């Protein structure tokens, strides 16, 4: 037994000996209290639907048939939509990391005064869910946004909507995914940057003759790698399952395919849901395995941040 | 006498300034206006991106909610329209109720479960549960809807099992996964693990010494929680519950995939108004969206206020 373990136990035991009637009650609670009971029930609540879905996917009405899981792969739409989703997810992940990481570093190093602004911008998606963002973007890039918006955007909205015709295209979808991902990308990267001594590391790199970019790429980046990986995998996993924006932009992604399938064939949809679950599992496992060993992790508890795009 | 004077001189601000003078001078020059400007230039790509895809969509929604779709003139008709139809108000009522109920359920049950995880002695089990919670919290949207159809749908696994074991048909009892309480069960699925994940770091703020001190002073478990534990945790718990509220208030995919628009919630209504086959009424869509933003702003500002309080308290 470790010293830490016993020292926490001593006062409890001392009280129990002074006051014998309470002993059983306290020790009983120690072993299996209300919290443990609730935790067990919650774990069951989270596990049962997964087991049920697995069973439902295998069940064809005439008993179990593992070949149903192979059946779902025969649909050409599946591979096509998965590829579309993978491309979108990859695009959004790269864009959000490239956009946020240097910015967060720059703010930390040169203008800490701008931090509240970044905090605000990464909080906005909480107050503006995907459906609202989609309604806004559809009007903004419809080509008739009005003079106020055109001026406020420094003339970029007319270029994007009229010349590049960005509305309902994958690039616009990727950009909106970047916004959705902001809350859970900025936070871990900023936390990682705070955990290392950015200023000292950078000044050390400067004094050894490196420039800003070199200091960023060879000194800072390797140190905040865990934060970046967790942010990237969360973005990836979220985009793979995102339905709202893709639906409003009429882009045929995997979740849309899953929704269409589910209306006709709930058994097939169950199998596809398991596939989707495995995907989330791989992403989260990736975060846990790649991040846990590194020093400057996500937070004190090394826990995974959560995507909020439901 | 002399050494004292010498020390006195050495300690004067001027002497210290002289020693650091070159450094100070460089910094001061660097902090000038031009330095600041180049610093802000580094933020331009990010800020421009946020302007185009985050801020302007919000502005256009607010602007559009006060504009007539066809004439383009300023008007309050969109809001009048929204408030005059019972179905719109009903959707808001439903959305707020479902978010409130699932946030409360998730907050209380998830908070207790988080305490259970926190109390676990076995590190591997703790990590397993945290990992599983991360997966479950991210397993939402369309797949979650079909997972619940497979579980509690008319021919779902649990529905059939209850029918076989207890000879009770849930759907005869008035339960339906496609209605309010069914949706509450589905939303709770992602709220519970989310609550566990948000609350665990907050629980580590509870020091074992406080519990020991309270016990030494004769406090029962209940008194400890009422007088020490809960007051300390309350801001974190409220913040977490607000996050859960916002999370389910904005949820669209799960409800849409489950009921295909046959349940009255604000996001579903917005989709119907903006994306519908029959009518497209962006004016009403904007007004509904502004309504959503207002409700969410209340939740998010409560959240930030509570987080700030926690940070002040814990000296972060």
- pLDDT tops 80 at residue A20: no
Please indicate, yes or no, whether residues A243 and A123 belong to a single structural domain of this protein. yes
In the predicted structure, residue A181 carries a pLDDT above the cut 50:
yes
By percentage, how much of chain A surpasses pLDDT 90? Answer: 31
Cα–Cα distance measured from residue A107 to residue B188, given in angstroms and rounded to the nearest whole number: 38
C-alpha torsion sign, points B180, B182, B187, B191: positive
> Residue B243 and residue A52: Cβ atoms within 8 Å?
no
Determine the structural domain holding residue A89 and report its residue range.
75-292
- A113 and A166, same domain (yes or no): yes
Q: Nearest C-alpha of chain B: how many angstroms from A68?
A: 15
Q: Please, which residues have CB within 8 angstroms of residue B176's CB and are 6 or more apart in sequence?
A: B182
Residues 43-102 of A with CB under 8 A from B: 43, 45-46, 48-53, 55-57, 99-100, 102
* Number of domains making up chain A: 2
Does ipTM top 0.85?
no
Residues A17 and A123 in one domain: no
What local confidence, expressed as pLDDT, does residue B72 receive? 78
Using the Cβ of B171 and the Cβ atoms of chain A, whether some distance falls under 8 Å is answered with no
Give residue A155's pLDDT: 80
The pLDDT, as a whole number, for residue B35 is: 63
Please check whether residue A307 lies inside any domain of the structure: no
Q: What's the half-sphere exposure (Cβ side, CA atoms, 13 Å) at B232?
A: 15
Looking at residue B260, the DSSP 8-state letter turns out to be T
Confidence (pLDDT) at A309: 37
Instruction: State what percent of residues in chain B have pLDDT above 90.
Output: 43
Q: B40-50 pLDDT, tens per residue?
A: 888 899 999 99
Cβ distance A176 to B53 less than 8 Å, yes or no, reads yes
What is the band of A63 on the pLDDT scale with cuts at 50, 70, 90? low
The verdict on A113 and A229 lying in the same domain is yes
pLDDT of residue B51: 92
Residues A117 and A240 in one domain: yes
Write out chain B residues lying below 8 Å of A123, CB-based: 300, 304
Looking at the structure, tell me whether residues A26 and A113 fall in a common domain: no
A229 lies within 8 A of chain B by CB: no
Chain A residues 102-161 with CB within 8 Å of chain B: 102-103, 106-107, 110-111, 114, 118, 121, 123-140, 145-146, 148-149, 152-154, 156-157, 160
Q: Is residue A54 part of a domain?
A: no
Q: Are B134 and A306 in contact (CB under 8 A)?
A: yes
Give the confidence band of A172 by pLDDT, cuts at 50, 70, 90: very high
pLDDT digits (tens, 9 = 90+) for A107-130: 988 888 888 999 999 999 999 999
Residue B174: pLDDT band with limits 50, 70, 90 = confident
Residues A163 and A18 in one domain: no
B206-233 pLDDT, tens digit per residue, is 888 888 899 899 888 888 888 888 888 9
What is the per-residue pLDDT for B20? Answer: 41
pLDDT at A1 over 60: no
> Is the pLDDT higher at A64 or at B235?
B235
Q: What residue ranges do the domains of chain B occupy?
A: 2-65, 77-313
Q: How high is the mean pLDDT of chain B?
A: 84
Please say if the pLDDT value at position B254 is more than 60: yes
Using pLDDT thresholds of 50, 70 and 90, give the confidence band for residue A8.
very low
The pLDDT tens digits for B45-76 are 999 999 999 999 999 999 999 988 878 788 88
* Residue A86 or B16, more confident: A86
Tell me: do A44 and A156 sit in the same domain. Answer: no
Tell whether the model's pLDDT for residue A217 goes beyond 60. yes
DSSP for chain A, please give it.
--HHHHHHHHHHHHHHHHSHHHHHHHHHHHHS-HHHHHHHHHHHHHHHHHHHHHHHHHB-SSSB-THHHHHGGG-HHHHHHHHHHHHHHHHHHHHHHHHHHHHHHHHHHT-GGGHHHHHHHHHHHHHS-HHHHHHHHHHHTSS---HHHHHHTTTHHHIIIIIS--TTSHHHHHHHHHHHHHHHHHHHHHHHHHHTTHHHHHHHHHHTT--HHHHIIIIIHHHSHHHHHHHHHHHHHHHHH--HHHHHTT---HHHHHHHHHHH-HHHHHHHHHHHHHHHHHHHHHHHHHHHTSSS-SSTT-PPP-----
Q: Are A171 and A41 within one domain?
A: no
A124 chain-B contacts, CB cut-off 8 A: 54-55, 58
The C-alpha atoms of residue A213 and residue B61 are separated, in whole angstroms, by 39
**A304/B250 CB distance under 8 A:** no
- How many beta-carbon pairs under 8 angstroms link A with B? 329
Banded model confidence at residue A28, pLDDT cuts 50, 70, 90: very low
- The answer to whether the beta carbons of residues B287 and B65 sit under 8 Å apart is yes
More confident residue, B294 or B204: B294
Structure tokens at A247: 């639906």
From CA B249, how far away is CA B294, in angstroms rounded?
12
Two structure tokens written together for A115: 């931090």
Q: Is A146 within a domain?
A: yes
Give the one of A11, A99, A127 whose C-beta lies nearest to B212's C-beta.
Answer: A11
Looking at the predicted structure, is the pLDDT value of residue B236 above 80?
yes
Placement of tokens 């016990």 in the chain: B215
Model confidence at B80: pLDDT above 80 = yes
- Shortest CA distance from A288: residue in chain B: B131
Q: With residue B26 as reference, give the H or E element that holds it.
A: helix B13-30
Q: Is B214 on the interface with A (CB under 8 A)?
A: no
Residues of chain B positioned with their CB less than 8 A from the CB of A266: 146, 149-150, 153, 155
Query: Which chain A residues are Cβ-neighbours of B249 within 8 angstroms?
Result: 129
Structural domain includes residue A2: no
Whether residue A140 is found in the same domain as residue A195: yes
- What is the band of B114 on the pLDDT scale with cuts at 50, 70, 90? very high
Is the confidence at residue B185, as pLDDT, over 70? yes
Q: What is the mean pLDDT of residues A20-38?
A: 59
Is pLDDT above 50 for A98?
yes
In a domain, A21, yes or no: yes
**A192 and A288 within one domain:** yes
Residues A43, A104: one domain?
no
Bigger pLDDT: A26 or A222?
A222
Residue A128, token pair as written in the block: 């503006």
pLDDT single digits (tens) A251-290? 999 999 999 988 888 888 888 999 899 988 988 888 888 8
Q: Is the pLDDT of residue A306 over 70?
A: no
Spatial neighbors of A42 by CB under 8 A, at least 6 apart, are: B109, B110, B113, B192, B196
Decide yes or no: CATH 1.10.3720.10 for domain B77-313: yes
CATH number of the domain where residue A90 is located: 1.10.3720.10
CA–CA separation, B57 vs A129, rounded Å? 12
pLDDT at B136 over 70: yes
**Integer angstrom CA distances of residue B234 from A97, A139, A285, B48, B230:** 34, 41, 32, 38, 6
How many H-runs (helices) and E-runs (strands) does chain B carry?
17, 0
pLDDT band at A293 (very low <50, low <70, confident <90, very high): low
Task: Name the token pair of A55.
Answer: 């069973």
Are the C-beta atoms of B193 and B244 separated by less than 8 Å?
no
Q: What is the average pLDDT score of chain A? A: 80
Number of residues that this document lists for chain A: 310
Mutate to test the interface with B, among A16, A42, A203 (most CBs of B within 10 A): A42
- What was the pLDDT predicted at A5? 34
* Residue percentage of chain B with pLDDT more than 70: 88
Question: In which band, very low, low, confident or very high, does the pLDDT at A3 lie, cut at 50, 70 and 90?
Answer: very low
pLDDT at A214: 86
């Amino acid at each position: 037994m470790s010293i830490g373990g016993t020292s926490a136990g001593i006062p409890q035991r001392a009280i129990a000996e002074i006051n014998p009637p309470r002993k059983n009650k306290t020790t009983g609670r120690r072993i299996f209290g209300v919290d443990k009971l609730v935790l067990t029930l919650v774990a069951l609540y989270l596990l049962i639907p997964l087991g049920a879905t697995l069973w439902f996917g295998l069940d064809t009405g005439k008993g179990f048939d593992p070949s149903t899981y192979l059946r779902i792969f025969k649909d050409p739409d599946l591979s096509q939509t998965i590829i579309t989703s993978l491309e979108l997810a990859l695009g959004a992940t790269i864009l959000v990391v490239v956009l946020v990481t240097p910015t967060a570093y720059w703010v930390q190093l040169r203008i800490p005064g701008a931090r509240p602004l970044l905090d605000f911008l990464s909080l906005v998606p909480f107050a503006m869910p995907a459906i609202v963002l989609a309604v806004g973007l559809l009007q903004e890039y419809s080509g008739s946004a009005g003079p106020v918006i055109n001026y406020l955007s420094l003339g970029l909205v007319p270029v994007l909507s009229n010349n590049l015709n960005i509305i309902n295209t994958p690039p616009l979808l990727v950009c909106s995914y970047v916004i959705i991902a902001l809350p859970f990308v900025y936070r871990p990267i900023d936390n990682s940057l705070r955990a290392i001594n950015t200023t000292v590391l950078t000044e050390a790199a400067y004094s050894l003759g490196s420039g800003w970019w070199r200091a960023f790429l060879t000194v800072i980046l390797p140190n905040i790698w865990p934060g970046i990986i967790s942010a990237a995998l969360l973005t990836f996993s979220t985009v793979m399952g995102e339905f709202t924006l893709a639906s409003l932009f009429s882009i045929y992604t995997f979740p849309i395919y899953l929704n269409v399938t589910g209306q006709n064939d709930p058994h097939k949809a169950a199998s596809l849901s398991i596939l989707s679950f495995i995907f989330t599992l791989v992403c989260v496992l990736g975060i846990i395995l790649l991040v846990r060993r590194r020093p400057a992790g996500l937070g004190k508890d090394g826990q995974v941040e959560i995507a909020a795009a439901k | 006498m002399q050494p004292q004077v010498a020390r006195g001189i050495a300690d004067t601000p001027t002497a210290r300034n002289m020693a650091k003078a070159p450094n100070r001078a460089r910094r001061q020059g660097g902090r000038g206006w031009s330095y600041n400007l180049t610093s802000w230039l580094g933020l331009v790509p990010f800020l421009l991106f946020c302007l185009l895809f985050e801020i302007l969509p919000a502005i256009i929604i607010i602007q559009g909610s006060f504009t007539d779709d066809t004439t383009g003139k300023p008007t309050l008709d969109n809001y009048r329209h929204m408030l005059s139809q019972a179905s719109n108000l009903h959707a808001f009522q439903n959305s707020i109720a479902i978010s409130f109920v699932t946030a409360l359920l998730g907050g209380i049950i998830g908070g207790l479960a988080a305490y259970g995880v926190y109390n676990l002695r076995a590190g591997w089990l703790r990590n397993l549960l945290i990992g599983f919670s991360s997966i479950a919290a991210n397993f939402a949207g369309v797949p979650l809807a079909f997972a619940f159809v497979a579980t509690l749908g008319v021919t779902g696994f649990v529905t059939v099992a209850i029918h076989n074991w207890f000879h009770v048909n849930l759907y005869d009892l008035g339960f339906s996964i496609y209605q309010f309480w069914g949706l509450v069960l589905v939303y709770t699925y992602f709220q519970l693990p989310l609550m566990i994940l948000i609350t665990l770091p907050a629980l580590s703020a509870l020091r074992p010494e406080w519990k020991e001190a309270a016990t030494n002073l004769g406090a029962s478990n209940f008194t400890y929680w009422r007088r020490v534990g809960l007051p300390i945790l309350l801001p974190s718990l409220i913040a977490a519950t607000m996050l859960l509220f916002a999370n389910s208030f904005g949820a669209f995919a799960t409800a849409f995939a489950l009921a295909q628009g046959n349940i009255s919630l604000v996001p579903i209504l917005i989709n119907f108004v903006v994306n519908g086959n029959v009518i497209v009424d962006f004016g009403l869509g904007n007004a509904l969206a502004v309504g959503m933003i207002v409700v969410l702003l209340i939740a998010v500002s409560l959240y930030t206020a509570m987080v700030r309080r926690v940070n002040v308290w814990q000296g972060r």
